[in-house]
Chain A
C-alpha cells in the first residue's frame, strides 16, 4: 500500500547532525581555532567581511569555520547576522589620504611622492608549491621574518589621482551631481537608474568572481573603449570616526584595514564633457586587491550612461550587472531548484503529455494526406 512520504522534520534534524560531524572531520585532528582562521586565513576573512558588508573579523572567522571554508556560505551567514543589527548612525567618510600605508603602488607613474611601496603581495612570488609549509613553523625554524625597514613609511600620502586632478585631466566627482544623503542598498530596494553611490555599494558587496569576469570581459573588448590604467592601489589602516549626537564632534571608534583602487580610463570627450581621464573606483575591507581592481574597472564601464556613451555590452549594462552581482541572492536562487517543484512539474507534465499526444495525432494526419496524394 502506498503511504504518503513524510518525515521531513526528522530528516532535517539528522542532516544537521551529519553536517556537524562532517564539519568537525576526523576527531583525531585538532579542531580549528577561530584565532587561527583570523590570523592564517586572513584573505578569506577579508573577502567574507567585504562581501558580507560587515567589518568583524571574529564573526567572519566563525562563519568560515561554520561553513567549512565555503566562502559564499560564510558571506551568507554574516549577511543574515548583519541584517539583525540595529543601526545607530553613519560614520563620517573615511579619509584614505591619512591611511597608514602598508602597500601602495601606481603603475601610471614610475615614481610618485611617498614612493612605491610593495608591501605584502603575491605579485612577484613564483607560484611554486612551498613544501616547507607542510611542516609547522615551530618545527621548521627556517621560515623567515621580514626585517623592519630603516625608514618608517610616510603617513598622509596624497592620492595619485589628486596629483593629476590639478591639471584638469581627471573627472570631478561633482559631475555625478550626488551630494545628497548616501543611499543604503541594505535598507532600500535597488531602483534604476542607480546613482553612483548605489552602484559602488552594489559592486563592493558583489561577488568577486562575477565582478572579476566582468572586468575581464571589458579588457577583452566587450565594452571598454581603451586600456584602463592603475592610477593607484593602496592598502593599510584608516581611522573610522563617528559623531555621536550628544557630543556633536567626531570621535575615533576604531581602525580598519582597507584596500582602495583608482583606475584611470581615457575618455575622448563628448559634446558637453571635455576629454579627460575618468576615475573608476574600488574599495574593500581588508586586503582584496583583485576585487578592488575589478570593481574600479566595472564602475567606469557602468558610467556609460552618465558619459553619454553607447551601452552595448553586458558589463556596461547596469540592469545586467547590478541585479546579478550579489552571490547571496544568486546562490540562493540557483540552489532553490533543490526544493521540491513537483506541483509545477506535474502541471508541465500534463501540458507536455497533451502536446505530445496532439503532435502524434497531427503526424498521423499529415501522413494520411500524403498517402492520398500518392494514390
Chain B
C-alpha cells in the first residue's frame, strides 16, 4: 500500500489560497509561542496527575466555544512541521467541523493531514475513539465540552473540586445506584464516567461508552482539552482507565444485532442511517477510515435488507451478520 496515497499535501494547487498557503499575519499554528508554552506546561502537569483537571489560560480561538477550541489549543501547542494530523468528528473525517478544523491547521501550520488512523501522529477527535488500535508515539486529543464528571450531580465548581481533592466520590456512586434502582441499569450511554489510575473520576468526553474500554492501558497519550471551561487533563500511555460500575452490575457496552452494511464489520460502532419516509434503516460504521479500509480489503456488508425496526441486544451481545 502506498503510504503517501492518502496524505493531503499542504501545497494543494487547486483551491487558490483557501487551502494552500499559510495564513499571513498570524503565528505558526495561530497561537503565539508564549501561549503554546503555557499550554504545554499545563499538559505536562496533566500528564503527571492522570485524570486531574488542570485549569489553564484558555484563549479565544477563531472557532466558537463548544466547537473544539480546547482540542485545537492542545493541537496548536503540540503540532510541528513533521506532524501528520487527522481530525475526526463523530468518527468521520469528512463531517463539516472536522473538515473545518483540519483546514484551519493546514492554513495556519501548513501541516500534512491524513484520514488514515495509522498514519497520523496527532489525532484530534470529537465524540469517538478510532476503531484502529492506537500505538505508542501517537497522541489523541479529545475535544471536551464539560470536563467535570460531577457537574450534573453538583453544579458548583467549588464543591466538586473539593470532592476531587478528597477523592470523595460518594455522590457519583449514589447517582449510578439510583439509576439502577429506577431504570434497572446505569442510564448513561455516552460520557460514561471512568476512574483513572485508581484516583480521579474523569469524563471521557462524550464518546459513546462503547469506546470506553479502548482508553484502558492505551499505548497512545490521551489529552483532553476543554476551551470554554478552561481545563486540560490527560491519561498517560498504559494507564488504567476503569469505567465505573458495581460488582453485580458490571459495565457493558452497546451492541447491535447487525453488522455494518458497507463493510460487514461486526465489531465497530454503528451509525443509523434512515433511508426513506417509512423509516427503513441501514447501519454503517461510524469510523469512516475503518470502514473504507475494510472495503478496500474486499470486505462487504449486506445492503439488500434495510431494517424496519432497530432491535438492540445490549445484554446478549451476539451479532447475527447476514
Residues of A within 8 A of B (CB): 1-2, 4-9, 11-13, 76, 79-80, 82-84, 86, 186-193, 319, 323, 328-329, 331-336, 339-344, 346-351, 353-355, 357-358
Contacts and interface: CB of A to CB of B under 8 A. Distances in A.
B145 A344 contact: no
B190 A332 contact: no
A335 B66 contact: yes
B32 interface: yes
Contacts of A331: 64-65
Given A2-B275, A319-B157, A347-B209, 12 more contacts: A2-B284, A6-B94, A9-B94, A9-B99, A12-B100, A319-B155, A333-B228, A336-B145, A339-B97, A343-B128, A347-B189, A354-B185
Contacts of B189: 344, 347-348, 350-351
B254 A343 contact: no
B60 A347 contact: no
Nearest to A82: B60
Interface string B159-198: 0000000000000000000000001110101110000000
A336 B66 contact: yes
A4 B288 contact: yes
22 contacts: A4-B284, A9-B94, A9-B103, A13-B18, A76-B64, A84-B32, A319-B156, A332-B66, A333-B145, A340-B90, A340-B95, A341-B127, A343-B90, A343-B207, A343-B269, A343-B271, A347-B210, A350-B312, A350-B314, A351-B189, A354-B314, A357-B312
A189 B126 contact: no
B99 A12 contact: yes
A interface SS class: helix
A192 B183 CA distance: 36
A358 B184 contact: yes
Given A12-B99, A332-B64, A349-B272, A342 B59 contact: no
B221 interface: no
Contact of B272 (A329, A346, A354): A346
Interface in B125-171: 126-128, 145, 155-158
Nearest to A78: B60
Nearest to B209: A347
A355 B254 CA distance: 13
B251 interface: no
A190 B254 contact: no
B69 to A, nearest CB: 8
Contacts of B96: 8, 11-12, 339-340
B interface SS class: loop
Contacts of A353: 310-312
Interface stretch (B50-58, B116-124, B234-242): B50-58
Contacts of B314: 350-351, 354
The 6 nearest A-B residue pairs measured at CB: A332-B65, A336-B66, A332-B64, A347-B189, A189-B230, A333-B66
B43 interface: no
A80 B230 contact: no
Nearest to B313: A354
A189 B57 contact: yes
Contacts of B26: 84
A356 to B, nearest CB: 10
B18 to A, nearest CB: 7
Interface in B266-288: 269-273, 275, 282, 284, 286, 288
Interface of B: 15, 18, 26-27, 30-32, 34, 55-62, 64-67, 69, 89-91, 94-100, 103, 126-128, 145, 155-158, 183-185, 187, 189-191, 206-210, 228, 230-231, 254, 256, 261-262, 269-273, 275, 282, 284, 286, 288, 291, 303, 310-312, 314
Contacts of B32: 84, 86
Contacts of A2: 261-262, 273, 275, 282, 284, 303
Contact of A4 (B128, B209, B262): B262
A344 B272 CA distance: 11
A226 B87 CA distance: 54
B30 A84 contact: yes
Contact of A335 (B64, B185, B291): B64
Contacts of B99: 8-9, 12
A80 B59 CA distance: 8
Given A2-B261, A351-B189, A343 B127 contact: yes
A120 B228 CA distance: 38
Contacts of A79: 60
A49 B231 CA distance: 27
Contacts of B61: 80, 83
Contacts of A193: 158
A354 B187 CA distance: 11
B64 A192 contact: no
B127 to A, nearest CB: 5
Contact of B62 (A6, A80, A357): A80
A344 B261 contact: no
Contacts of A12: 96, 99-100, 103
B210 to A, nearest CB: 7
A347 B95 contact: no
Contact of A347 (B56, B59, B91, B190): B190
A342 B274 CA distance: 12
A189 B58 contact: yes
Contacts of A190: 230
B95 A8 contact: yes
A78 to B, nearest CB: 9
B82 to A, nearest CB: 24
Contacts of A342: 90, 271-272, 286
Contacts of B191: 344
Contacts of B127: 341, 343-344
Contacts of B206: 341, 344
